[in-house]
Amino acid sequence: MRRRLEMTEHHFVFVHGAGHGGWCWYKLANSLRENGHKATCIDLKGAGINPTDPNTVSSLDDYDEPLYAFLSQLPIDQKVILVSHSVGGGSMTAAMCLFPSKVSLAVFVAAAMVKPGTLIPERLKNVMKICSGLIEEETEKIWDYTFGNGPENLPTSIMMKPEYVRDKFYNESPMEDYTLATTLLRPAPVMAFVGIMDIPKAPEADKTPRVYVKTGKDHLFEPVLQEVMLALWPPAQTFLLPDSDHSAFFSQPQELYQFLLQAASSLSP
């Protein structure tokens, strides 16, 4: 089965979540490249090694510009498989709407998957806001805020407080990956995440097949709330990583790799 799944070459394009960058996908990218596939790990604006100050990012489209630029330069006959994590699901959904002819499959890994133009239940909206730092949990405040436009305005960037990083992002991940991440995490632009829940209605969003990967030991985006989201916009396929934390690319990378190949195998040659 594994040999058959790896026979067709695919190009996977990875989209990170808040505070992360293309670096977080290094295990998946390595496995795919070693087995004859292409892997591109995007740094959205103000993330990873992108030089932009995240406090200056003004909107979701501004944040997503590196992803849009990459998709726009693809040859006319080439499609890619998009893979997103966490609030990066909003960036991927926006790209699906703008470049439907460039995306053969969209894979959401513990990611925000909201149909553009639909109303979001308050319970799910609140957890999405917590995951992106737009509101604080009543029992614990997990984010540090930067108010680049003054304290009377919305914060311009957020960063998870160090004492919560292990539990919320990497509670099942190897210690060495957690240590690596603590040296690479950056503040994330708040104005980008405001736009994630307000992507306009777009018929193009339903033209791309979607796959969802659930994370069974996720302390940030709890499994029960992932289920609520799946019921609102059911994907074509759903996979479960029962022992994964929020960061499946660290906690269960080989299992996630196999799921990616399995999802890709459903595409026509």
Q: Catalytic amino acids?
A: 86, 218, 246
Nearest to 177 by CA among 237, 252, 232, 240: 252
Nearest to 241 by CA among 228, 260, 266: 260
Q: How many residues does the chain have?
A: 269
Q: What does 107-176 look like in DSSP terms, one character per residue?
A: EEES-----TT----HHHHHHHHHHTTSS--SS---EEEE-TT-TTS--SEEEE-HHHHHHHH-TTS-HH
Q: Fill in the DSSP letter of residue 200.
A: P
Beta bridge partners of 84: 15, 108
Burial of 269 (0-12, 13-18, 19+ CB in 10 A): exposed
Beta bridge partners of 68: none
Q: Can you tell me the distance from the alpha carbon of 3 to that of 186, in angstroms, rounded to the nearest whole number?
A: 38
**In Å, how far are 25, 69, 205, 259 from 63, measured between CA atoms?**
19, 11, 19, 28
Structure tokens, 185 = 């995490």
Structure tokens, 222 = 């709890």
Q: Can you tell me the distance from the alpha carbon of 222 to that of 236, in angstroms, rounded to the nearest whole number?
A: 21
